[in-house]
């Protein structure tokens, strides 16, 4: 049984007379122990989706099951109890500014009615986990963004949740701090088996920690599956754009622009063969390398390259065939 099961979720907002459909028939299941990414452009409905998982946002239609329990069937009180089993962290950290670090971490326990002494013991344990034992008396205003997010993570974990929801948790952080927060999340997932849902608009966040990913575009789920598979061979326009489309549109190599571009992905095994050089030699035609990059996808090095093809459709097709024969995945890069 999936720990989170979303069925046919639709959410409509009414704003000054007209209706905005933020989510449109989204169905999704997330297995226990997964690190699940939900990615989409701004306004796609990611926050609305993650807020539906703990019913901060009540769906207009459809159901949300947590561990098989339909949240719709719960009373206010039961729902609050259920929420305390689902931790959540945010882009802006949302710490209590007037409380110090340890009181922030104790806060969910205070709400749950845990004795202050026991709460402190638990809080210190968690501050050790996030490497902030020496900051327990500091106030949030005295911490850096990364430290604040660590406090927020400790706070979210204090009630021993089964699920941790992260809404753009690294979007306000620089790349290096993002990396350290992501490895902390991975550590939490591996150590405690907590299911983590990561909302982001950055593909790099997904490839870094997620095993599975769902792509949301204008309130609809357009693609879902293993990160590696989708990264290698994206099907939907939204996925292609999130992986590389936007960046290539800004490429300064306009003079070399031949019109047709392809994206190829190397795995560890294919990286040994000089595929590009072989292709050029065999076809006797130039290939423009517009972009090349190596990324860490679930701990494996994956190379990505965007090539500009020479003129002539026949030549282009045979180049593509040749690269495919070498075992690489080829996707056309389309621009609107």
Partner 1 sequence: MNAQVIQMLLEGIRDTLYMTFGSVIIGYILGLPLGILLFVSNDKGLKPNKVIYRVCDFIINIIRSIPFLILLILLIPFTRLVVGQSYGSTATIVPLVICAAPYIARVVESSLNDVDTGVIEAAKSMGASNMQIIFKVLLVEARTSLMTGFTITTGLLLGYSAMSGTVGGGGLGDIAVRYGYYRWQTDIMIVTVVLLIVIFQIIQNVGTGISMKSDKRKR
Ligand X SMILES: Nc1ncnc2c1ncn2[C@@H]1O[C@H](COP(=O)(O)OP(=O)(O)OP(=O)(O)O)[C@@H](O)[C@H]1O
Binding residues for partner 1, per CB under 8 A? 54, 56, 80-84, 86-88, 90, 92, 94-100, 107-108, 110-112, 139, 141-142, 152, 159, 165
Quick check: 56 binds ligand X (CB under 6 A)? no
Rounded least distance, CB 22 to ligand X, Å: 3
Rounded least distance, CB 51 to ligand X, Å: 8
In sequence order, what DSSP letters do the residues of 241-306 get, joined into one string?
Answer: IIIIIHHHHT-S-GGG--S-EEEEEE-TTGGGS-HHHHHHHHHT---EEEEEEEEEETTEEEEEEE
CB atoms within 10 A of CB 218: 15
Partner whose footprint covers residue 82, from partner 1, ligand X, Mg ion, none (CB < 5 to 8 Å by kind)? partner 1
Contacts of 263 (CB under 8 A, 6+ apart): 240, 243, 244, 304, 305, 306, 307, 330, 331, 332, 333
- Interaction pattern, residues 36-55, with Mg ion; x per rule: CB under 5 A: -----------x--------
Using CA atoms, how far residue 34 sits from 77, 139, 213, in Å, is 28, 33, 10
Q: Sort 159 into a burial class: Cβ within 10 Å, 0-12 / 13-18 / 19+.
A: middle
Rounded least distance, CB 37 to ligand X, Å: 13
- Segment interacting with ligand X, rule: CB under 6 A, options 43-51, 95-103, 256-264, 327-335: 43-51
Q: How far apart are CA 286 and CA 283, in angstroms?
A: 8
- Give how many residues touch Mg ion by CB under 5 A: 1
CB atoms within 10 A of CB 320: 18
Partner whose footprint covers residue 48, from ligand X, Mg ion, partner 1, none (CB < 5 to 8 Å by kind)? ligand X
Strands 212-217 and 35-40: what pairing?
A: parallel
Name the residue whose CB lies closest to Mg ion.
Answer: 47
Quick check: 44 binds ligand X (CB under 6 A)? yes
Rounded least distance, CB 136 to partner 1, Å: 14
- Interaction pattern, residues 185-214, with ligand X; x per rule: CB under 6 A: ----------------x-------------
Rounded least distance, CB 11 to ligand X, Å: 8
Q: Sort 48 into a burial class: Cβ within 10 Å, 0-12 / 13-18 / 19+.
A: buried
Partner whose footprint covers residue 59, from partner 1, ligand X, Mg ion, none (CB < 5 to 8 Å by kind)? none
One residue of 15, 75, 175, 284 binding ligand X per CB under 6 A = 15
Q: Which is nearer to partner 1, 98 or 278 (CB)?
A: 98
Quick check: 47 binds ligand X (CB under 6 A)? yes
Matching residue, tokens 């040994």? 272
Tokens in use for 188? 């939490």
Q: Which is nearer to Mg ion, 153 or 166 (CB)?
A: 166
Q: What is the CA radius of gyration of the chain?
A: 23
Residues of span 286-325 touching ligand X by CB under 6 A: none
Q: How far apart are CA 201 and CA 91, in angstroms?
A: 12
Q: How far apart are CA 181 and CA 175, in angstroms?
A: 10
Contacts with ligand X by CB under 6 A lie at 13, 15, 20, 22, 40, 42-48, 201
Contacts with Mg ion by CB under 5 A lie at 47
């Amino acid at each position: 049984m999936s720990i989170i099961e979303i069925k046919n979720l639709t959410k409509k907002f009414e704003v000054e007379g007209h209706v905005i459909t933020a989510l449109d028939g989204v169905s999704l299941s997330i297995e226990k122990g997964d690190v699940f990414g939900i990615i989409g452009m701004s306004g796609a409905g990611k926050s609305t989706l993650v807020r539906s998982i703990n019913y901060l946002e009540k769906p207009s239609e459809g159901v949300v099951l947590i561990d098989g329990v339909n949240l719709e069937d719960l009373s206010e009180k039961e729902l609050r109890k259920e929420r305390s089993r689902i931790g959540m962290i945010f882009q802006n950290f949302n710490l209590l500014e007037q409380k110090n670090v340890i009181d922030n971490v104790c806060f969910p326990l205070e709400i749950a009615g845990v004795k202050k002494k026991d709460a402190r013991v638990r809080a210190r344990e968690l501050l050790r986990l996030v490497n902030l034992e020496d900051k327990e008396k500091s106030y949030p205003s005295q911490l850096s963004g990364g430290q604040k997010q660590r406090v927020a993570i400790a706070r979210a974990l204090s009630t021993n949740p089964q699920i941790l929801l992260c809404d753009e948790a690294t979007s306000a952080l620089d790349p290096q701090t993002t990396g350290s927060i992501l490895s902390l999340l991975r550590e939490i997932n591996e150590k405690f088996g907590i299911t983590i849902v990561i909302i982001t608009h950055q593909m790099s966040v997904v490839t870094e920690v997620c095993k599975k990913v769902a792509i949301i575009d204008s309130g609809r789920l357009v693609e879902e599956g293993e990160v590696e598979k989708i990264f290698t061979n994206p099907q939907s326009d939204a996925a292609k754009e999130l992986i590389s489309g936007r960046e290539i549109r800004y490429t300064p190599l306009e003079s070399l622009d031949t019109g047709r571009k392809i994206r190829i992905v190397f795995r560890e095994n294919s990286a040994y063969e000089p595929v590009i050089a072989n292709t050029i030699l065999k076809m006797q035609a130039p290939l423009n390398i517009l972009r090349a990059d190596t990324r860490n996808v679930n701990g494996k090095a994956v190379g990505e390259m965007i090539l500009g093809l020479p003129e002539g459709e026949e030549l282009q097709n045979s180049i593509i065939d040749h690269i495919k024969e070498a075992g690489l995945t080829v996707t056309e890069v389309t621009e609107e």
